[in-house]
């Protein structure tokens, strides 16, 4: 039986609306209703996991998933940029932001580099490769970008060319040897 992995981006938060580096903030008002409408489209699943972040746990709950927290699904650690708007950080530290956006190994914020994030996500996906059945994972845009880069074998620099909206789904399938991105209606 092939493995199926559906990655769902958590609902919108004040930080996502403000283009800010997140803290552990809750989802916005109205997101629960949006998620509840999405829930029935998920159909059958065998296991559900979620990032430990409040916004992901709240999204999983709104989707009626009895999800288990998994630390590998946590958002990128943005270090001392957490809680700040990107525009403000860019104004104060333009060279550091430029380095972060152009070099996946850079971590000028003192947190996790994108390479570190990608290795963490790739390792987690490798452990799921031989699963049977359907896993739903509620996580973050950064984790979903890292997963897509990994599945496609794309250059790490392509991370920023992937746009992930709140409550969007990415469907992956495994033949027990590799993951494949599945695009469907």
CATH number at residue 99: 3.40.50.1240
Q: For the segment 93-123, what is each residue's pLDDT rounded down to a tens digit?
A: 999 999 999 999 999 999 999 999 999 999 9
Q: For the segment 18-69, what is each residue's pLDDT rounded down to a tens digit?
A: 999 999 999 998 998 898 888 777 878 999 999 999 999 999 999 999 999 9
Under the phi-then-psi rule, with left for phi > 0, alpha for psi from -120 to 50, and beta for the rest, what region is 22?
Answer: beta
Q: What is the dihedral of CA 135, 138, 142, 146, to 10 degrees?
A: 0
At residue 81, the 3 state secondary structure works out as: helix
> Where in the sequence is the domain holding 130, given as residue range(s)?
3-182
User: E strands within the chain?
Assistant: 3-9, 47-50, 68-69, 133-139, 169-174, 179-182
Query: How many domains is the chain built from?
Result: 1
Query: Which tokens is 141 given?
Result: 């845009």
């Amino acid at each position: 039986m092939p493995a199926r992995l559906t990655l769902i981006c958590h609902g919108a938060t004040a930080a996502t609306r403000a283009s800010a580096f997140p803290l552990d903030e809750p989802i916005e008002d109205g997101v629960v209703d949006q998620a509840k409408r999405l829930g029935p489209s998920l159909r059958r699943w065998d296991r559900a996991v979620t990032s430990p972040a409040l916004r992901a746990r709240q999204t999983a709950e709104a989707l009626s998933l009895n999800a288990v927290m998994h630390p590998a699904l946590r958002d990128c650690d943005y270090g001392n940029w957490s809680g700040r708007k990107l525009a403000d950080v860019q104004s104060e530290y333009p060279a550091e932001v430029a380095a972060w956006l152009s070099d996946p190994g850079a971590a000028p914020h003192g947190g996790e580099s994108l390479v570190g994030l990608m290795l963490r996500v790739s390792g987690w996906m490798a452990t799921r490769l031989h699963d049977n059945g359907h896993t739903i994972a509620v996580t973050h845009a950064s984790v979903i970008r890292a997963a897509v880069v990994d599945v496609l074998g794309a250059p790490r620099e392509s991370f920023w060319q992937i746009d992930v909206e709140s409550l969007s789904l990415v469907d992956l399938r495994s033949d027990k040897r590799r993951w494949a991105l599945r695009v469907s209606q």
